[in-house]
Amino acid sequence: MRQQAISLAGFTTWKVGGVAKNLAEPDSLDALRQLLEEHRQVGKALQIIGAGSNLLISDAGLPGLVICTRRLQGAQLDSNSGVVEALAGEPLPSLARRAAKAGLGGLEWSVGIPGTVGGAVVMNAGAQGGCIAERLLTATVIDPKGGDAFVINNKDLAYNYRHSCLQAENWIVLSARFQLQIGEDPSLISARTSANLHSRTSTQPYHLPSCGSVFRNPEPQKAGRIIEALGLKGYCIGAAAVSDLHANFIVNNGGATAAHIDALIKYVQIEVNKAHGIWLHPEVIRLGSFTELAGGGLK
């Protein structure tokens, strides 16, 4: 369950990141609670990660204990009521497909998001016009500092575009309950789900490591269109590049470091701000320490 000096590059979809001094992957809620109890007695740094699909972890790695929840998988779907209960580590794509086969609609948009339920609840993940906030009933969370798990309702999560109050709290999502649409033809829902996946994979660079969309859209404008209009597609710093396929993606062309990606994010922000007076806010969360990278980019 516990490992020492483990590279975190394999725990992020960007395939970058330094070493975790200690890493644990609990496969049950009881195991997670035990880890938290043991760690409270030690009192060192603690970081929770899921599928790593919206994380940029420093090349310097992370101190203390890193707990990865991606093995906390499992979901129960009630086709009569439309209520779905899923553990924090359940992958969104598999949950979307299971829901479709059960004739439950409302998660078709999530099939192309390489994240987990827990991360989606925290970030209010969304795509193609849908988002978690529209379907979430409650989330069960726990404070790593102590106390029992408790349930928090959708209305108390302060949901907004790619935002929830959980981003400011240290609570850990254990599971979530969703209300989906009942009475639909499973074949039709499955077809919509597959169509959504095809739309994403044909217009976004899923063949290379990335975190998905890097920047939040400055509504009503789209970040990708703004970046593309500035001619930044293909712009590189090290082996990190603005995707030629979708300008709101930064891809790892092989051998990129977290510092390369971080520098490219900042470069795009500065260029957009100079041209339009807009500051693009990243969806991605940085973990660990980052320093300025010497040198510029290469077209």
In this structure, are residues 122 and 164 in contact, taking their beta carbons and an 8 Å threshold?
yes
Q: Edge-to-edge strands of the sheet including 136-142?
A: 75-77, 83-87, 172-179, 136-142, 150-153
220 preceded by a cis bond (ω within 30 of 0): yes
The reply to whether 90 belongs to the active site is no
Residue tagged active-site, from 25, 90, 271, 283: 283
Cα dihedral angle (37, 42, 45, 51), rounded to 10 degrees? -40
Residue tagged active-site, from 164, 213, 243, 271: 213
The reply to whether 213 belongs to the active site is yes
Residue tagged active-site, from 162, 175, 190, 243: 162
Number of Cβ atoms within 10 Å of the Cβ of 289: 12
Q: How far apart are CA 232 and CA 226, in angstroms?
A: 9
With a CB cutoff of 8 Å and minimum separation 6, the contacts of 296 are 237
Host H or E run for residue 198 = helix 186-203
Q: How far apart are CA 129 and CA 55, in angstroms?
A: 23
The reply to whether 162 belongs to the active site is yes
Q: Which residues are catalytic?
A: 162, 213, 283
